[in-house]
Structure 1
Amino acid sequence: MIIKLKQRFSKTLALILPGIFLLGFNIGTGSVTSMAKAGATYGMSMLWTILASCFTTFFLINLYGKYTLKTGETALQAFRKHIHPAVGIFFIVALTAGVSGSVIGVMGIVADICFEWSKTVITGGISPVYFAGFFIALVYFIFWNGKTQFFERALAVIVAIMAASFILNFFIMMPPPVEIAKGLIPNIPEVAKSQGDSPFLVIASMVGTTVFSGLFIIRTTLVKEARWTLNDLKKQRTDAIVSVSLMFLISAAIMAAAAGTLYAEGLGLSNASQMISMLEPLAGKLATTIFAIGIVSAGVSSQFPNVLMLPWLLCDYNQSQREMTLPKYRIMVFLVSILGLVVPVFGAKPVFVMIVSQAFNSVILPVTVACILYLGNRKDLMGEHKNGVGMNICLAAVLIFSIITSIMGMNGVIEMINK
């Protein structure tokens, strides 16, 4: 009986692992920072951005997944073969630059959070450098010794802890339901003069971290490795629904926690440690601890795919086996990993790094949408599954949405630099 239950659990886990992987990739400290920043500065007024971003993510996950189900090609293979090799190289360079910035911000925020928490245990706390070094070493150790199956299951456990932490916190620190409902109405809130933040940059960073181009590129690799075919189209759609629904719930819960406390008190958010030091007197020690566990879990869960992004993309582009034990890949992962020491050692501002990094991701998005728009309309590739008129209209709307958020991101970065 126990063996049968284990087999059933393993089978179920295998079916949802692609979605769990995407969730762990998507909800990292970039999401936590962007959503908490939006909630602390503008309350729930930007909830519509999360909803629109999640719909867009679901739409693009399905399109890229369907392309792989039909052709057996991953995204990078398709870009190289059917568009131009330079397009594939562009994504490798752009996504590596984006995740490098994310790695810097991730460890900076995780180290700051742990440092602030350690003050409650040890007078003066433990230096953020030690926490950053510990988590960097932990992730690299699992990468060095763990097999892909172990890696995916470890990620699933971390994602479960993260999801439970943030959703539980939502019920502890949630703002009034009326404010949540109002947030679903699209609007651009006024700039908070006391904070000096641009809503355009915050919106772009929220879109950049939710509608992440790397998500769709890696999705096609996972679908191919799962050996799904067109017969699994329904399975792929269900997996995407579960993944995106959890993305929305967790992102909204993070925003609500900040809106119900920091925004309600007019405190805003300018650095990572505020998420702990300012939440405790407002929400209590239990809520603060749960939130801290969620942030650390989010950071670790996103750090795994972040440091693996470059070697995985190269393997995909070259159509070679993902043999991560090769010295060249271990060196790549090590070099990307140690970027996590930049914030603790040099004192950079992790929230600023993360928001600019996520806004940069939104600039890559229009190219991602344009590529699937082109490939999806190739009858020689898609056959009867070629995009219809309705699909093309939706894609055109998504393309316009992505261009607008890219412009917002660039304008927001320029405004922040000028200030």
Structure 2
Amino acid sequence: MKLSQFGPGALVAAAFIGPGTVVTASLAGANYGYALLWALVFSVFACLILQEMSARIGLVTQAGLGENIRNNLTSGWLRWLALLLIFSAIAIGNSVYQGGNLSGASLGAYELLGPVPLVDKWLSNAWAVVIGIVAFLVLWSGNARVIEKSLIAMVLLMSIAFLGTFFLTDPDWTGVFNGIFVLSMPSGATLTVVALIGTTVVPYNIFLHASSISKKWQSTSDLPAVRRDLFVSIPLGGLISMAIVATAASAFFGHQITISSAADLAVSLEPLFGDAATYLMAIGLFAAGISSATTAPLASAYALNGIMGWSVNLKSRAFRTVWLSILVLGVTISSLGIEPVTVIWFAQVANGILLPVIVGFLWWLSWGSLLGQNRNSWWQNLLAAMVFIISIVLSVRSLGSAFGAF
């Protein structure tokens, strides 16, 4: 498969492997060893089901999920409820998460290059501004191929960095295979499993995929190419996440080492495995941060412009205004060191409610007459139903965590 045939699937992989995923996967490995690798295998499977439906919607209708929800929801109050949920979770939530993406990329850049000359004394995180400018230039180009190629490069860089670190830590291969194929739930691991699945099955990626598919392919005859892109890119992203879990398991499981950020993982590897492991982890963290820092504003623009009926042209004023707003807010949160605890709590609640709603919309659009002969088969509906039920469980857990119930 030629590199030019990759695109939207790689955008999704670049989006779900961010600093938050690195931290979650690191904690899973450090606390439970290889035991939870199966959860990532499952999350990749669930992600493939959802993104494949999203891809078919984008290809057949030549429109994003936001536009299709708007056009097919005939009830006014349902349309406004969908608008409210999507705005709350994606616009507000992504602004906060964007701050985390930029902070993660900044930590990787700082480990590799040190502080930004001159500027660093004025800002607590000057690298966030620099990386924000890079993301701005990529998005402002308004060229889908430039954006695709940039993010494909980040995915490849992450692959080399995180897989390289994995091999340097000399993993226990028996433990790795047992973790993948043996379903186990260590005491206290339930929320970690939910977090691992939640970092891969992300609502805004569903909007991103449908819209980006319609920019790259225009005919249903391209469906095999769409699926090849998806079935290579998403498992590769899952493999990267699994490599991070296994790296942390090899290095820290059974040791009294505290990991509160992805940077802790990079620094803690040095005395155990040398400078190479630290540099590779820092490179991976930088690539994960900058790729998510680019895809989060892009996905927000696709989702909000689609549901509002605004232009989804990459160079339109409305489209640029949305992603620029998300980017500026993220840079502000990260560069000034703001800890927006209340806003993060709100975003978590909104995302918890949004996930099953979006999965429900996706399933509804995929089984009806909208897709014609490309609508869901019985077994695709069965798989969609399974993922829908799981999304409700994830939602309940997310809301319970936000409200301190469990």
Q: Could you state the TM-score of these two structures normalised by the residue count of structure 1?
A: 0.83
Q: Does the alignment pair 1:148 with 2:144?
A: yes
Q: How far off is 1:334 after superposition?
A: 3.8
Contact kept? 1:46, 1:187, Cα under 8 Å: yes
The alpha-carbon deviation at position 276 of structure 1 amounts to 2.4
The residue aligned with 1:398 is 387
1:86 corresponding residue in structure 2: 80
User: Percent identity between the aligned chains?
Assistant: 25
Q: List gaps (5 residues or longer) in structure 2.
A: none
Distance 2:201 2:97 in 1: 15
Q: 1:48-100: CA deviations, max 9, x gaps? A: 11111100111111122223333444311221121253355232432223322
1:30 and 2:24 correspond: no
Q: Call closer, same or farther: CA 1:237–1:354 in 2, change over 3 Å.
A: farther
Residue identity matched to 2:80:
A
CA distance in 1 between partners of 2:67 and 2:282 (Å): 40
1:210 and 2:200 matched: yes
Cα pair distance change 1:238/1:13, threshold 3 Å: same
1:286 is matched with which residue: 272, 276, 284?
Answer: 276
Answer yes or no: is the 8 Å Cα contact 1:208–1:362 preserved in 2: no
User: Runs of 5+ in structure 1 lacking a partner?
Assistant: 1-8, 192-198
Which one of 321, 340, 344 corresponds to residue 331 of structure 2?
Answer: 340
Q: Which residue of structure 1 lines up, in the alignment, with residue 46 of structure 2?
A: 56
- Across the aligned residues of Structure 1 and Structure 2, the Cα RMSD in angstroms comes to 3.1
Deviates more, 1:335-344 or 1:248-257: 335-344
Q: Which moved more, 1:36-45 or 1:381-390?
A: 381-390
Show the counterpart of 1:381.
370
Deviates more, 1:387-396 or 1:203-212: 387-396
The DSSP-based 3-state class of the residue aligned with 1:225 is: helix
For 2:116 and 2:86, how far apart are their aligned partners in 1?
44
Q: Count matched residues.
A: 395
Query: Is the Cα–Cα contact under 8 Å of residues 107 and 341 in structure 1 kept in the other structure?
Result: no
Instruction: Say which of 167, 186, 190 aligns to 2:187.
Output: 190
Q: Following the alignment from structure 1 to structure 2, what is the Cα–Cα distance between the partners of residues 231 and 30?
A: 37
Q: SS in structure 2 opposite 1:387?
A: coil
SS of 1:348's equivalent in the other structure is: coil
Q: Does 1:223 align with 2:227?
A: no
- Residue 163 of structure 2, aligned match among 164, 167, 181: 167
Does structure 1 retain, via aligned residues, the 8 Å contact 2:106–2:128? yes
Paired letter, 2:99: I
Check the 8 A contact 1:221/1:316 in 2, yes or no.
no
Quote the residue 1:299 is aligned against: 289
Give the corresponding residue for 2:105: 110
Q: Distance in 1 between matches of 2:21 and 2:257?
A: 20
SS at match of 1:267: coil
Distance 1:204 1:286 in 2: 32
Residues 10 and 152 in structure 2, CA contact (< 8 A), matched pair in contact too: yes
The correspondence for 1:41, drawn from 31, 45, 62, is 31
Displacement of 1:361 after TM fit? 4.1
Q: CA 1:343 to 1:37, structure 2 compared with 1: closer, same or farther past 3 Å?
A: farther
Q: Deviations over 1:312-343 (max 9, x none)?
A: 334333262414363x5545444322323424
Matched, 1:135 2:105: no
Alpha carbons of 1:295 and 1:353: their partners in 2 closer, same or farther (altered >3 Å)?
farther
